[in-house]
């Protein structure tokens, strides 16, 4: 009798411990791989052995915007929301990665990478694991649902901050450590300098032509004055008497 009593207490205790494990479990980003947080994804530690007392129960992952997660209650999370509804702005959270609890086993092989990448799918189904927005921050939690709604859940994760995109010019680093913006500025200054040099050369050319034109006009004027000189005046200037005087 004592043996059965001890076994019963042990079973009840194990169930209680398992149930308490779910309610205190906090999803977290893995630190075992490089690139655990990107512009559109983050990688969670797989919650193995957390739902072992509910082998056939449906487990969903809820992904919510950090600004609105605190206002979500069991009634909100008890009905699955598709990714498209979140993407279209109708909801600030969605459900994805539906699996049975047995797919998070207590024992795994050493070759298995026990992580879940969030935001890695191109959506082709209603509750897809679609890409995230890099201008948002997120929190996640696992929920267990049955026909009546939610009956157990984990804690919300800490805030997930995705990497932010940089402007194109800032993201490109050119040789010698110069950014794309510096290269563009240098190019503009070079073009302006070239234009200034062309204008200077043009000014010199047209200035020289103007000087030559003025000299030509002066010479033509002198020739015109010489041509209109009367013959008598010309002869008088050649006359010996004129020369003697």
Q: Are residues 33 and 132 in the same domain?
A: yes
Q: Are residues 63 and 28 in the same domain?
A: yes
Q: Which of 113, 146, 165 is the last residue of a domain?
A: 165
Rounded CA gap, 176 and 197, in Å? 28
Contact 68, 113 (CB under 8 A): no
Q: Is 15 within the bounds of a domain?
A: yes
Per-residue pLDDT tens over the stretch 79-117: 999 999 999 999 999 999 999 999 999 877 665 678 999
Per-residue pLDDT tens over the stretch 118-147: 999 999 899 999 999 888 899 999 999 998
% of the chain beyond a pLDDT of 70:
70
pLDDT (0 to 100) of residue 13: 43
Q: Is 111 within the bounds of a domain?
A: yes
Range of the domain at 235: 175-244
Residues whose CB is less than 8 angstroms from the CB of residue 161 and which lie 6 or more positions away in sequence, other chains included: 37, 137
Per-residue pLDDT tens over the stretch 201-217: 888 877 776 676 667 77
Query: In 3D, which of 184, 151, 191 has the Cα closest to residue 168?
Result: 184
Q: Are residues 43 and 159 in the same domain?
A: yes
Q: Name the region of 48 (left: φ>0; alpha: ψ -120 to 50; beta: rest).
A: beta
Per-residue pLDDT tens over the stretch 214-240: 677 776 676 666 555 555 554 555 555
Q: Are residues 158 and 204 in the same domain?
A: no
Q: Are residues 202 and 151 in the same domain?
A: no
Q: Is 94 within the bounds of a domain?
A: yes
Asked whether the predicted pLDDT for residue 46 surpasses 60, the reply is yes
Q: Are residues 16 and 114 in the same domain?
A: yes
Q: Which of 130, 165, 200 is the last residue of a domain?
A: 165
pLDDT (0 to 100) of residue 232: 56
Query: In 3D, which of 67, 87, 65, 91 has the Cα closest to residue 79?
Result: 91
Q: Which of 165, 191, 210 is the last residue of a domain?
A: 165
Per-residue pLDDT tens over the stretch 13-35: 444 444 448 999 999 999 988 88
Q: Is 170 within the bounds of a domain?
A: no
Q: Are residues 123 and 11 in the same domain?
A: yes
Q: Are residues 21 and 88 in the same domain?
A: yes
Split into its structural domains, the chain has a count of 2
């Amino acid at each position: 009798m004592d043996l059965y009593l001890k076994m019963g207490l042990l079973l009840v205790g194990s169930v209680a411990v398992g149930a308490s494990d779910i309610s205190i479990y906090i999803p977290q980003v893995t630190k075992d791989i490089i690139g655990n947080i990107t512009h559109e994804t983050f990688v969670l530690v797989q919650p193995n052995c957390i739902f072992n007392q509910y082998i056939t129960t449906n487990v969903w992952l809820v992904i919510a915007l950090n600004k609105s997660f605190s206002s979500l209650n069991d009634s909100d999370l008890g009905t699955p929301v598709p990714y498209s509804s979140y993407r279209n702005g109708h909801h600030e959270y969605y459900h994805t990665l539906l699996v049975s609890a047995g797919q998070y086993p207590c024992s795994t092989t050493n070759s298995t990478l026990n992580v879940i990448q969030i935001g890695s799918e191109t959506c082709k189904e209603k509750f897809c694991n679609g890409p995230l927005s890099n201008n948002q921050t997120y929190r996640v939690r696992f929920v267990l649902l049955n026909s009546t709604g939610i009956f157990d859940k984990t804690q919300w994760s800490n805030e997930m901050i995705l990497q932010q995109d940089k402007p194109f010019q800032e993201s490109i680093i050119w040789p010698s450590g110069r950014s794309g913006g510096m290269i563009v500025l240098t190019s503009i200054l070079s073009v302006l300098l070239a234009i200034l040099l062309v204008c200077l050369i043009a000014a010199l050319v047209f200035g020289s032509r103007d000087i030559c034109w003025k000299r030509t006009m002066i010479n033509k004027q002198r020739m015109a004055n010489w041509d209109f000189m009367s013959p008598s005046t010309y002869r008088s200037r050649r006359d010996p008497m004129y020369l003697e005087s």
